[in-house]
């Protein structure tokens, strides 16, 4: 057995040398490379437009004050706690009370003015009755004087006196009637002043107009609010947080792909691993421009019965513009790769496509390279929907599980396989002897 060892060693050296020579022909001066490949898979693919939005309450009510004064009290919720951030409120429940001492005094003043106007009206009516009586007497005197006429029994001056007294009495009646109407108008005005004073007094008590939850409390007890041209804001109440909406800023280049009723999926940073869904409700036409970028606000309605979506969370939106179910899918890198010719060992370069390519919304054809043993086979495919990472493809003979080449990469270590991709067939590099 010892005599055979030298021959075995020589044979092994020859085999290694021969193998090394074959591998060298498949390597460059820096070492060997391997094809990076991924299997064709079957599944659903969705083409989307991405944008950022903000979760907003569906019905948001800004509670203000219509009178000026100092806040002296907050209301209590059903549990007896003082109204504050997050308090559940019912319609008619007291939110806050403003110091009403000044407004009570104004009500008393207006009430006194009304009583005075009523008294003046009664006096005006009594004065009118007196004037009517005087007018009747003067008229009777003038009638008798007309029957007698100027004569020895009635002097001319007396005759003229009766005539003048009758005219004065008649004018007095008209003035009395005018005074009654004036008193009646004063009553109407006094009643209006009293009603206004009472209304202002009622404004000192601020109730909740709806059932909802307090999103924001903007005043403190002891703070003075001043109502002038704009009503000061005291509370912000969301009517119903079971239904919320997301306000999304969509770029003008993408707004043509958005329409009411369209499906939307989104995530929020508070729950990064959970996907929420919604529906486009409307597209607002009042576009805004920021740094020469035009955006439109799109309202997306979503269900929030579990209350997990809090107001003003940032939402990462994905509008579904196209969809294909149960199709063959390949990585976009497979459509961009081709065997390099004078472009380096990395295999990068322009895609070998025969059509428009794999951009979303641009159907066409492309070419992929499939590994069959140690050989590469090109397959022309029809390109479908793309999500920016993967693309739906269709071609005769293309099957699920086929390995499509996505690139070329150098092998690290002495003949070690790339552990990051179990689907990468390896070509060992030339080692030192």
Least confident of 169-173, 395-399, 408-412: 408-412
Mean pLDDT of the chain: 82
| Res 201: pLDDT | 96
Per the domain annotation, does 88 fall within a domain? yes
- Could you tell me the two tokens for 422? 């179990």
| Res 82: pLDDT | 94
Which of 22, 37, 29 lies closest to 345, judged by CA?
29
User: Does 213 lie in the same domain as 93?
Assistant: yes
User: Does 252 lie in the same domain as 315?
Assistant: yes
| Res 361: pLDDT | 37
Which of 334, 341, 340, 326 lies closest to 381, judged by CA?
334
| Res 17: pLDDT | 35
Distance of CA 255 to the CA centre of its chain: 16
Per the domain annotation, does 411 fall within a domain? no
Per the domain annotation, does 349 fall within a domain? no
Confidence check: pLDDT of 419 > 50: no
The CATH number of whichever domain residue 320 belongs to comes to 2.40.30.170
Per the domain annotation, does 386 fall within a domain? no
pLDDT in tens, 190-221: 999 999 999 999 999 999 999 999 999 999 99
- Could you tell me the two tokens for 195? 């009603």
User: Does 285 lie in the same domain as 151?
Assistant: no
Among 289, 324, 359, identify where a domain stops.
324
The residue written with tokens 């022309």 in the block is 380
The CATH number of whichever domain residue 73 belongs to comes to 2.40.50.100
Give the orientation angle of helix 101-148 with respect to helix 156-202, to 10 degrees: 160
Range of the domain at 113: 102-202
- Residue 233, CA distances (Å) to 49, 65, 394 in order: 38, 7, 60
Least confident of 64-73, 229-238, 384-393: 229-238
The answer to pTM > 0.85 is no
Per the domain annotation, does 303 fall within a domain? yes
Among 183, 202, 221, identify where a domain stops.
202
- Rounded to 5°, angle at Cα 312 from 307 and 316: 90
Per the domain annotation, does 356 fall within a domain? no
Residue 415 has a CB neighbour count (10 Å cut-off) of: 13
| Res 144: pLDDT | 83
Confidence check: pLDDT of 364 > 90: no
**Mean per-residue pLDDT for 392-420?**
76
User: Does 309 lie in the same domain as 254?
Assistant: yes
User: Does 319 lie in the same domain as 246?
Assistant: yes
Please state the φ and ψ torsions of residue 238, each to the nearest 5 degrees.
-90, 125
The continuous run of DSSP H or E covering 178 comes out as: helix 156-202
User: Does 247 lie in the same domain as 308?
Assistant: yes
User: Does 107 lie in the same domain as 95?
Assistant: no
The CATH number of whichever domain residue 177 belongs to comes to 1.10.287
DSSP state of 132: H
| Res 359: pLDDT | 37
User: Does 228 lie in the same domain as 194?
Assistant: no
Residue 349: pLDDT band with limits 50, 70, 90:
very low
Rounded Cα distance, 239 and 63, in Å: 12
| Res 9: pLDDT | 40
Alpha carbon dihedral 206, 211, 214, 218, in 10-degree steps, equals: -20
Which of 433, 335, 345 lies closest to 388, judged by CA?
335
| Res 32: pLDDT | 52
The residue written with tokens 């990076």 in the block is 36
User: Does 156 lie in the same domain as 68?
Assistant: no
Per the domain annotation, does 294 fall within a domain? yes
Sign of CA dihedral 409, 412, 417, 419: negative
**Mean per-residue pLDDT for 266-288?**
94
User: Does 82 lie in the same domain as 114?
Assistant: no
Per the domain annotation, does 255 fall within a domain? yes
**Mean per-residue pLDDT for 41-46?**
94
pLDDT in tens, 134-168: 999 998 888 888 887 777 678 888 888 888 998 99
pLDDT in tens, 91-139: 999 999 999 999 999 999 999 999 999 999 999 999 999 999 999 999 8
CB-CB contact of 277 with 81 (8 Å): no
User: Does 86 lie in the same domain as 113?
Assistant: no
Which of 362, 422, 367 lies closest to 393, judged by CA?
367
Confidence check: pLDDT of 386 > 50: yes
User: Does 248 lie in the same domain as 125?
Assistant: no
Q: How far apart are the first and last CA of the chain?
A: 26
Order of strands across the sheet with 233-238? 60-64, 233-238, 212-217, 88-89
Residue 20: pLDDT band with limits 50, 70, 90:
very low
**Residue 325: strand, helix, or coil:** strand
Residue 409: pLDDT band with limits 50, 70, 90:
confident
């Amino acid at each position: 057995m010892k005599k055979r060892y030298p021959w075995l060693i020589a044979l092994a050296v020859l085999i290694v040398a021969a193998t090394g020579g074959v591998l060298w022909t498949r390597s460059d001066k820096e070492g060997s490379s391997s094809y990076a490949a991924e299997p064709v898979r079957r599944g659903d693919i969705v083409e989307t437009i991405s944008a950022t939005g903000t979760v907003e309450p569906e019905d948001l009510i800004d509670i203000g004050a219509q009178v000026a004064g100092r806040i002296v009290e907050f209301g209590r919720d059903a549990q007896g706690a003082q109204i504050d951030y997050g308090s559940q409120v019912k319609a008619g429940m007291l939110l806050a009370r403003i110091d009403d001492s000044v407004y009570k005094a104004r009500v008393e003043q207006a009430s006194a003015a009304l009583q005075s106007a009523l008294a003046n009206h009664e006096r005006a009516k009594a004065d009118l009755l007196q004037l009517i009586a005087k007018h009747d007497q003067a008229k009777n005197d003038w009638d008798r004087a007309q029957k007698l006429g100027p004569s020895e029994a009635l002097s001319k001056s007396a005759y003229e006196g009766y005539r003048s007294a009758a005219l004065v009495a008649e004018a007095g009646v008209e003035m009395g009637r005018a005074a009654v109407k004036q008193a009646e108008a004063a009553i109407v005005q006094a009643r209006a002043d009293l009603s206004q004073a009472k209304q202002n007094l009622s404004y000192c008590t601020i109730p909740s107009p709806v059932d909802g939850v307090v999103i924001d409390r903007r005043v403190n007890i002891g703070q003075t609010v001043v109502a002038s041209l704009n009503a000061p804001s005291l509370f912000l109440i969301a009517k119903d947080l079971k239904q919320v909406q997301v306000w999304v800023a969509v770029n003008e280049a993408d707004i043509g792909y958005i329409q009411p009723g369209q499906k939307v999926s989104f995530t929020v940073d508070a729950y990064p691993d959970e996907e929420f869904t919604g529906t486009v409700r409307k597209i607002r036409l009042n576009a805004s421009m920021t740094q020469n970028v035009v955006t439109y606000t799109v309202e997306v309605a979503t269900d929030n019965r579990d209350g997990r979506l809090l107001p003003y969370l940032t939402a990462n939106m994905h509008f579904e513009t196209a969809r294909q179910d149960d199709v063959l899918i390949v990585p976009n890198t497979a459509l961009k790769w081709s065997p390099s010719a004078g472009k380096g060992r990395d295999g990068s370069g322009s895609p070998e496509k025969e059509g428009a390519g794999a951009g979303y919304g641009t159907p066409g054809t492309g070419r992929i390279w499939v590994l069959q043993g140690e050989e590469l086979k090109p397959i022309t495919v029809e390109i479908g929907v793309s999500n920016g990472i993967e693309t739906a493809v269709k071609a005769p003979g293309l099957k699920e599980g086929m390995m499509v080449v996505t690139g070329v990469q150098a092998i690290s270590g002495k003949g070690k396989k790339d552990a990051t991709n179990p689907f990468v067939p390896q070509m060992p590099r030339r080692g030192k002897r």
